[in-house]
């Protein structure tokens, strides 16, 4: 169980973005998160994955703090995959940074063997996003925060990516927080949905 308890967070010289916010994500659960731009959705995602630390409150995994080193059990996937990779590494090195996916897994996510010798800037956004999602699925990973990962993709690529991720998550009972402005997408993917506004979560 991934749990955020009474999180409070604000950037310097600004009003609190999250106010005593609590959230629970269980293994195998798909939870949707919506909210206006600037409401703090990505900030919450980064807090859950340990990229940011709350001013007060805590994020725990099965009652313990997130690990300080090694492959992180909670992975945050950003909207812009080019910001999440080393541009000087070839795609094969990027993909195998934490683990080595099987040929079948690469095929399921549409990652082509010919991409592996190329540099990330030579791939389209959709191609690089497939690589980043697959990279995040190391065996140690138990929860994913998918932060607008399909916003920039064409409808066919979007569908293929979510289908592949859904299959993998179901097989491994991964918990997935889907952050999106697309209410239809959240309704299709997530039985439970929350809306972030004024630093607080409400059920939809």
Per-residue burial over 111-150, b if 16 or more Cβ lie within 10 Å, else e, is: beeebbeeebeebebbbbbbbbbbbbbbeebbbbbbbbbb
In the chain the domains, ranked by start, together with CATH numbers, are 2-9+17-60+71-85+140-203 (3.40.50.300)
* pLDDT attached to residue 157: 87
* pLDDT attached to residue 87: 96
* Position with higher pLDDT, 86 vs 69: 86
Provide mean pLDDT across the span 39-56: 96
* pLDDT attached to residue 135: 97
Instruction: Judge whether residue 89 has pLDDT over 90.
Output: yes
Under the banding of pLDDT at 50, 70 and 90, the label for residue 183 is very high
Query: Distance from CA of residue 38 to its chain's centroid?
Result: 18
Under the banding of pLDDT at 50, 70 and 90, the label for residue 12 is confident
Under the banding of pLDDT at 50, 70 and 90, the label for residue 61 is very high
Kindly report the pTM of this predicted structure.
0.95
139-158 pLDDT, tens digit each: 999 999 999 999 888 888 89
Given the structure tokens 């993709």, which residue do they identify? 153
């Amino acid at each position: 169980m991934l749990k955020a308890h009474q999180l409070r967070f604000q950037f310097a010289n600004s009003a609190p973005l999250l106010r005593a916010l609590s959230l629970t994500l269980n293994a195998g659960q798909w939870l949707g998160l919506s909210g206006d731009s600037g409401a703090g959705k990505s900030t919450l995602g980064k807090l859950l994955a340990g990229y940011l630390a709350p001013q007060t409150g805590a994020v725990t995994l099965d009652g313990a703090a997130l690990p300080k080193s090694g492959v992180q059990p909670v992975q945050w996937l950003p909207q812009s995959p080019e910001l999440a990779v080393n541009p000087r590494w070839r795609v094969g090195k990027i993909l195998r940074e934490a683990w080595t996916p099987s040929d079948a897994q690469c095929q399921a996510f549409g990652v082509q063997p010919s991409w592996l010798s190329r540099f990330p800037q030579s791939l389209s956004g959709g191609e690089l996003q497939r690589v980043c999602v697959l990279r995040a699925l190391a065996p140690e990973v138990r929860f994913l925060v998918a932060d607008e990962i399909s916003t920039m993709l064409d409808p066919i690529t979007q569908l293929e990516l979510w289908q592949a991720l859904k299959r993998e998550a179901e097989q491994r009972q991964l918990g997935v927080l889907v952050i999106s402005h697309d209410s239809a997408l959240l309704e299709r993917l997530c039985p439970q949905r929350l809306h972030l506004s004024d630093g607080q979560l409400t059920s939809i």
